[in-house]
Amino acid sequence: MNVPLWLALIVVGYLGIKLIRPPWWLVAVLLLGGYLLADSLLAPVIDTAVK
pLDDT tens digits for range 10-28:
999 999 999 999 999 999 9
What is the pLDDT at residue 47?
A: 87
39 in any annotated domain: yes
19 in any annotated domain: no
Q: What percent of the chain has pLDDT over 90?
A: 63
Q: Of 34, 28, 32, give the one whose Cα is nearest residue 46.
A: 34
Number of domains in the chain: 1
Cβ atoms 46, 37 nearer than 8 A = yes
8 in any annotated domain: no
2 in any annotated domain: no
7 in any annotated domain: no
**41 exposed, middle or buried (CB, 10 Å; 0-12, 13-18, 19+)?**
exposed
Amino acid at 20: I
Domain extent, residue 48, equals 24-51
